[in-house]
Amino acid sequence: MTYIGTTFIVLAFLLFFKYTGSFDFATVKFNVALIPLPIKNAIFIFALVGLGTKASIIPFHIWLPAAHPAAPSHVSALMSGVMIKTGIYMIIRLFLDVLQPIPAWWGLTVLALGSISALLGVLYALTEHDIKRLLAYHSIENIGIILLGLGSALTFYSLGMPSLALLGLAAALFHTLNHAIFKSLLFLSAGSVINEMHTGNMEEYGGLIKYMPQTAMFFLIGSIAISALPPFNGFFSEWLTFQTIFQGIARLHSSSQWIFVVAAGSLAITGGLALACFVKAFGTTFLARPRSAEVAHAKESALSMRISMGTLALLSLLFGIFSGPVTILLEKISKSFTIFQNVTSLVSVSSRQSFNVGNGFASVSAPVLFGFLVIAIFLTTFIVRYLVNKNQKVTIGGTWDCGTDLTPRMEITATGFARSIILIFKNVLKPSIQHEIEYRDDESRYLPKSREVTLSVGNIYHSYFYRPMQTMIHELSLRAKNIQSGNINAYISYIFIALAIALFLVL
């Protein structure tokens, strides 16, 4: 699958070579002016398809969810954390550096693609109940968010607003960094869960928080970070991206403004859906009662794993609290691009770590927010625990369920949790619901013996894009096989015909 992408990349580079006579970026950049605009656009499209496949942007993403469950967890951590970022790196390198100057619609295209893959990525993640596939789809979503920053950067630069472009690039880079951190954290903790449970199917988890509390804690932190809740790092990079897009809405007009509005909307809804998705993931994995006997045998993961997860969790908190300085640093880095050599930065960190964007347009102070939350929590705990009604009796009882005895099959499943959202977005996801009802007896249809509901999501990319392509090639190949009919006279006549045609073309 990725080889198609590689082919497109090769094609783009060949086009470079054709016009600049070199594969070396420096040289290409030096005489990029030799490339005529239509060819440049062709290069853009090829490169976008190719690198999009590498970075697994929808609709070129199908290999990623397929690859993740196959790979061991630490490998998937690398794959999502690092590997797909190489595509992003190449996109930045090519479009922001090598191919400059570029037309505005490139940036807008990237922006549109970004919003699509962010929104669809999280929707597909909601439909998954294999934990690693779920995380894989979240990688797609985050790549989309990164692209949002990147696309706005491209657009701003080609519309002559370099400082905004710088902001967008910084946002993209920051989110890349953050995503690497919390996605690795999530994959590692998911991996240790899978090690204990020997399955990736979340429907068989449940109640794991009692058996592996620390892993649960780490997964919770990861979920908070990835669903962009303050004060963890995910929030601040998404915040920056939002600010960039807001600037776009504020400064631009007509169609481009609308694209930015759509981007902002998709980003907002993506945030909400990601939240829902991780409530589902954490809830069905760690909370409530076990759904399978396996859970009882689960043990806390090994110390080394816990240490590495702990480090990542701490990192994601620190990157959140010190998001201001980090962003400044990233902007410094992005200034190494020739186009950003002397561009005034929009981000500034004042005293008290207040972190301003676009002189007073937006500002937030992560440490203060964090401190504020902590203080409030402590205050509440203190008052409620020790001031009001100290000698309160707490008794442990069973969960109330209208008097019936509660079985694990009564609690909500991952599929059930996402069902309502899936049905709301059914035009996009094309879900298929099959009911299999077995009745006690054929006469009365009122006493079902067992009822099985399968809720599956149609993979529109396979059915409308890849499958047809494959069948087409297959057809062609079958046609081509007619050449090899096995009849020797036919073979000889090929030679004769080839000879005749060649002779007649020449003479």
Partner 1 sequence: MFLTVIFLHLAKKNFTAAVAYGIQSLMICLVFLNSFFETGNIYTYIVVLLNLVVKVILAPLFFIRLIKKHALSFSVNTYLNTPFTLIFIAVLTSIAHSQKFLPLTGIVPTHQALLSIALSSIFLSLFLIINRKGAISQILGILSLENSIVAFIVFAGLEQAPGLQIGVIFNIFVWIIIATIFASMVYKHFGSHDVTSMKNLTD
Partner 2 sequence: MNIIVWIIQLIFVPAISPLCVGIIKKIKARLQNRQGASIFQPYKDLWKLLHKDEIISKDASWVFSCAPIIIFAVTLVVGASIPLFSSLVNNVLTSNLLVIVYTLSIGTFFLALAGMDTGSAFGGFGSSREMTISALAEGGLIFSLLTVGLVGGTTNLFAISNANIFASSQSFLSILLAFCGFFIILLAETARFPFDNPDTHLELTMIHEAMILEYSGKKLALMEWASANKLVIFVALGSNLFFPLGIAQSSDISAVTTGIVVFIIKMLIFCATIAILESSMAKFRFFRLPDLLITSFILNAVAIGLIR
Partner 3 sequence: MELILLITILIAAALINISVKNRIVIEFLSVGASIVAFLGSTIIALKVSDFGIYSPSVFFSVDSLGAIVMLIIALVGLAATVYSVQYLRRETAQNIIGFTRVKQYFVLLDLFLAAMFLAVTTSNPIFAWISIEATTLSTAFLISFYNKPAAMEAAWKYLIINSIGLLLGFLGTLLYFTYVNSLPGNGFADWQLLTATAAYLNPALAKIAFIFVLIGYGTKIGLAPMHTWLPDAHSKAPIPISALLSGVLLNVAFIVMLRFKLITDASIGPDFSRQLLIVFGLLSVVVASLINFTQKNYKRLLAYHSIENMGIATLGFGFGGLGVYAAMLHIIYHALIKSALFLSSGIIFLKYGSTRIAKVRGIITTLPVTGVLFLIGFFIITGTPPFGMFFTKILVFSAGIKTYPTVTIVALFSAAILFISFFHHATTMVFGKKPPEINRGKENAWLTFPPLVLIAVVFYLSFSLPPFLYKLITNAVLQY
- Smallest gap from Cβ 7 to partner 3, in A, equals 4
* 268 in contact with partner 2 (CB under 8 A): yes
* 361 in contact with partner 3 (CB under 8 A): no
What the block records as the tokens of 317 is 């908190």
* 489 in contact with partner 1 (CB under 8 A): yes
* 407 in contact with partner 1 (CB under 8 A): no
Positions in 21-50 near partner 3 (CB under 8 A): 23
Segment near partner 3 (CB under 8 A); pick from 14-22, 161-169, 325-333, 339-347? 14-22
CA distance 130 to 141: 17
225 and 262 in contact (C-beta within 8 Å)? no
- Smallest gap from Cβ 17 to partner 3, in A, equals 5
User: What residue type is 347 in one-letter code?
Assistant: V
User: What residue type is 367 in one-letter code?
Assistant: P
CA distance 427 to 423: 8
Positions in 446-485 near partner 1 (CB under 8 A): 481, 484-485
- Residue 300: name the closest of 217, 226, 225, 220 by CA: 217
Nearer to partner 2, 10 or 423 (CB): 423
Segment near partner 3 (CB under 8 A); pick from 319-327, 341-349, 425-433, 495-503? 495-503
The secondary element (H helix, E strand) that includes residue 448 is strand 448-457
* 386 in contact with partner 2 (CB under 8 A): no
List, in order, residues 6 or more apart from 291 with CB less than 8 Å away: 203, 204, 205, 206, 207, 408, 409, 411, 413
User: What residue type is 393 in one-letter code?
Assistant: K
- Residue 317: name the closest of 410, 217, 208 by CA: 217
Three-class HEC string of 404-441: CCCCHHHCCCHHHHHHHHHHHCHHHHCEEEEEEEEECC
* 400 in contact with partner 2 (CB under 8 A): yes
Single out the residue of 14, 302, 307, 376 in contact with partner 2 (rule: CB under 8 A): 376
Number of residues that bind partner 2 (CB under 8 A): 83
Positions in 61-90 near partner 2 (CB under 8 A): none
Fill in the per-residue mask, 236 to 275: x = in contact with partner 1 (CB under 8 A), - = not in contact: ----------------------------------------
Segment near partner 1 (CB under 8 A); pick from 326-334, 372-380, 382-390, 489-497? 489-497
State the Rg of the chain over Cα. Answer: 27
Q: For the chain, give the longest Cα–Cα distance.
A: 110
What residues form DSSP beta bridges with 437? 451
- Residue 420: name the closest of 461, 455, 458 by CA: 455
CA distance 90 to 114: 16
Query: Cis (ω within 30 of 0) for the bond into 59?
Result: yes
Positions in 276-295 near partner 2 (CB under 8 A): 276, 278-280, 282-284, 286-289
* 484 in contact with partner 3 (CB under 8 A): yes
143 and 84 in contact (C-beta within 8 Å)? yes
DSSP tag of 474: H
Segment near partner 2 (CB under 8 A); pick from 106-114, 138-146, 202-210, 485-493? 202-210
Look at residue 303 and give the partner it binds from partner 3, partner 2, partner 1, none, a contact being a CB closer than 5 to 8 Å depending on partner kind.
Answer: none
User: What residue type is 85 in one-letter code?
Assistant: K
Positions in 116-155 near partner 1 (CB under 8 A): none
- Smallest gap from Cβ 67 to partner 3, in A, equals 13
* 388 in contact with partner 3 (CB under 8 A): no
Residues contributing to the site for partner 1 (CB under 8 A): 481, 484-489, 492-493, 496, 503-504, 507
Would you tell me which residues interact with partner 3 (CB under 8 A)? 3-4, 6-7, 10-11, 14-15, 17-18, 23, 473-474, 476-481, 483-484, 488, 491-492, 494-495, 497-499, 502-503, 506-507
